[in-house]
Amino acid sequence: MKPFLIRRISTTADGREIIRDAQAARDVVTVGRAATNDIALPDLGVDPEHLYIQHSSDGRVQVTATGSSGFLVGRRRSKEAVVDPDQGGDIAVGGHRIAMSRDIGGAIVLTVQRVAAISKAAEERDETKAFSLRGLVPAKRSTAWVLALSVLFAFLAIPVWAAFQKQHQPARTIYAAASDTTWTSGPLSQAHHALEGNCEACHKKAFVSVRDETCQSCHKDVHDHALPGRLAKARENPGFGGRILASVAKTFGKEGPGSCVACHTEHEGAGPMPATAQAFCSDCHSTLNQRLTDTKLPNAGDFGTQHPQFRPLIAMVPGEKPVMARASLDSMPMDDSGLKFTHKLHLDTRGGVAAMARSLKSSKGYGDSLVCADCHTPTADRVRFQPVDMEKNCEACHSLAFDNIGGTVRTLRHGDTAQMTADLRAFYRSTSPARPINLGGMERRRPGTYAQGQVYNAYFGAVGARGSTGDKAVRAVFSPGGACYDCHLVKPPGAGSPDWSVVPVNQPLRYMMHGWFDHNAHSTETCASCHTKAASSAKATDLLVPDLKSCRSCHGGEASAAKVPSSCAMCHGYHGKEDAPWKPKQGGAAASPMLIRPRPGDTASLN
């Protein structure tokens, strides 16, 4: 069947008719007030979907109402009708008439025309006006003015009046304090929760920003990030918009760049204070060398894209006062701790150490081989790891027992070479020829042959009877194959030392002195996922600190799509401490690098 032809007839103001024809896009024509209908009638007397018109099987037109309103056929209201277009016919819907005819081509023409308003909600009554409350409520403009003035009075005029009442009439502070709450943008953070309700503790003057001296009245140990002159020089000059904002802030008494409130924002919620945005740091540090041409710090603007390689503090020369220096991990630096130790030997799953671990499985809880946790013990807060201790972590395999008297095992004093030397000499001095000497004529056995409490006599070598044999035993301990020599750097008797000794061991709790790392925050990771080279490390001087690439496998810049978006404040703090490298030391002498131990959040200065 041929599609319907929809013909609309409208009348202009001067009585002329305008006719517009359009072919229906489908065989069924929908009629209603909604704009989605094929014939949309803007009349409130018409339902949104009022009726539909379609071809009947005998060539006529079937009209069916979808709602209860129906339509007029002649003077009768009907919900369903059949119209013969060859004879002509029409229906009335609201204030419109739809006539049906057939053109010379055989297509059925639906002529839609507006007639005299016969419904109570005719077309001239706009829908928004029909449902408007304009005649029942005040006008929008006057209502807006009333509400605006009410807000200004309740939330500006009254609190301003109350603020002055606090200063001049303290007895009325209860009401004044209540009115101030309308200005509070949110609760105080955990750090300042005790000041809740005591606005004057920080806001000393009405309508004046919190000043630095107010913050420093409590935070007395907070120090500058760097020298004020260098800080000012390091800052990037603000643009036009920044200068406008600075002038507005100055009007309300806000101090300039570098003030406490420039970084620390309050009333942001009851949790910890929000971390400083990355831009606060990168505004200076991303192009720092352009303004501080003498700086030793490389530029840093984003951890994922612009960050220098890590420079841990390592021991270049071990000793009582080790020579410490910061070195980039790109240079593959060696950390000389004073120990002879290899991770590869101890983590080997098939060597003698693994066999020893299996033999101690029931008593020490080891597995089929040693793992990192068998020797490395976290601190109480699980942020770092304690130094490896001989008695707690090593003696299960490396026993220093040398004699057994009546079931009581005698053990050499670890860490005190003078006492150990004296014990050995006393042992041989008191031994008679008739008494067998445990330390004589035995070859060294491999670690694993001895458990804790057994005699580890093979370390002391073959010795003679009494007399000078004590000196031979001491020499054997500090010689190749001896108990001390195998693990420590040994110093023979000589200038400044009348006897044998070992180089003090340096086991720093922290390598990254200008950044912060929390092992507890990485508890979901395995040791090997970050310390990837530990199992293959064959030198005691290997530095196994993860490098920048390793950290970037999870961490990226603040706005990155990395697994852990990380701003500068996640690892770095802002405030220098009393021992900051750029501060002069007491007495004019520089402090030993080993004494510089920044607290959590300490970071490098602009040196």
Does the model's pTM come out above 0.85? no
Name which residue leads in pLDDT, 69 or 567: 567
Sheet with 89-93: strands ordered across: 17-23, 5-11, 108-114, 96-102, 89-93, 71-73, 76-78
Predicted confidence band of residue 184 (pLDDT cuts 50, 70, 90): confident
Task: Single out the residue of 65, 47, 50, 42 nearest to residue 122, CA to CA.
Answer: 42
**Residue 6 pairs with which residues in a beta bridge?**
22, 110
Q: Is the pLDDT of residue 173 over 80?
A: no
Q: Is the pLDDT of residue 127 over 50?
A: yes
Predicted confidence band of residue 602 (pLDDT cuts 50, 70, 90): very low
CA-to-CA separations, 441 to 368, 420, 457, 461, 574, in angstroms, rounded = 33, 21, 10, 7, 64
Q: Which of 4-13, 27-36, 478-487, 593-602 has the lowest mean pLDDT?
A: 593-602
Q: Which of 252-256, 262-266, 298-302, 585-589 has the lowest mean pLDDT?
A: 585-589
Location of structure tokens 């041409």 = 293
* Rounded-to-integer distance, Cα 326 and Cα 236, Å: 28
* Residue 472 confidence (pLDDT): 83
* Residue 454 confidence (pLDDT): 44
CB 98 within 8 A of CB 89: no
Tell me what the mean pLDDT of segment 107-111 comes to: 90
Span 50-81, pLDDT tens digits = 999 999 888 899 999 998 889 999 888 999 99
CA-to-CA separations, 2 to 9, 74, 132, 164, 297, in angstroms, rounded = 22, 27, 44, 84, 82
**Residue 92 pairs with which residues in a beta bridge?**
72, 97
* Residue 288 confidence (pLDDT): 93
Name which residue leads in pLDDT, 309 or 242: 309
pLDDT > 90 fraction of the chain, expressed in percent and rounded: 37
DSSP code at position 241: H
Span 418-442, pLDDT tens digits = 998 888 888 877 654 434 334 333 3
Domain ranges of the chain: 5-130, 343-502
* Rounded-to-integer distance, Cα 498 and Cα 357, Å: 39
Q: Where are the alpha helices (DSSP H) in 378-441?
A: 417-429
* Residue 458 confidence (pLDDT): 37
Q: Are strands 555-556 and 564-565 parallel, antiparallel or unpaired?
A: parallel
DSSP code at position 319: S
CA-to-CA separations, 355 to 359, 375, 397, 444, 486, in angstroms, rounded = 6, 16, 11, 17, 20
- For the chain, the average pLDDT equals 81
* Rounded-to-integer distance, Cα 285 and Cα 301, Å: 6
Predicted confidence band of residue 446 (pLDDT cuts 50, 70, 90): very low
* Residue 469 confidence (pLDDT): 63
Predicted confidence band of residue 162 (pLDDT cuts 50, 70, 90): confident
* Rounded-to-integer distance, Cα 348 and Cα 193, Å: 53
Task: Name residues whose C-beta falls within 8 Å of residue 518's C-beta, 6 or more positions apart in sequence.
Answer: 383
Tell me what the mean pLDDT of segment 456-470 comes to: 44
Predicted confidence band of residue 138 (pLDDT cuts 50, 70, 90): confident
Q: Is the pLDDT of residue 248 over 60?
A: yes
Span 514-545, pLDDT tens digits = 888 999 999 999 999 999 999 999 999 999 99
* Residue 579 confidence (pLDDT): 56
Q: Would you say the C-alpha torsion 406, 407, 413, 417 has a positive or negative sign? A: positive
**SS3 label, residue 80:** strand
CB neighbour class for 75 (10 Å; exposed up to 12, middle 13-18, buried from 19): exposed
Task: Single out the residue of 39, 43, 47 nearest to residue 99, CA to CA.
Answer: 39
Q: From the centroid of its chain, how far is CA 446?
A: 49
Angle at which helices 173-180 and 158-168 cross, to 10°: 140
* Residue 583 confidence (pLDDT): 54
* Residue 347 confidence (pLDDT): 94
Give the number of C-alpha atoms closer than 13 A to the C-alpha of residue 434, restricted to the C-beta side. Answer: 0
**Helices and strands: H and E segment counts in the chain:** 17, 20
* Residue 589 confidence (pLDDT): 37
Q: Which of 22-36, 263-277, 506-520, 593-607 has the lowest mean pLDDT?
A: 593-607
Tell the CATH topology of 5-130: Tumour Suppressor Smad4 (2.60.200)
Tell me what the mean pLDDT of segment 387-398 comes to: 89
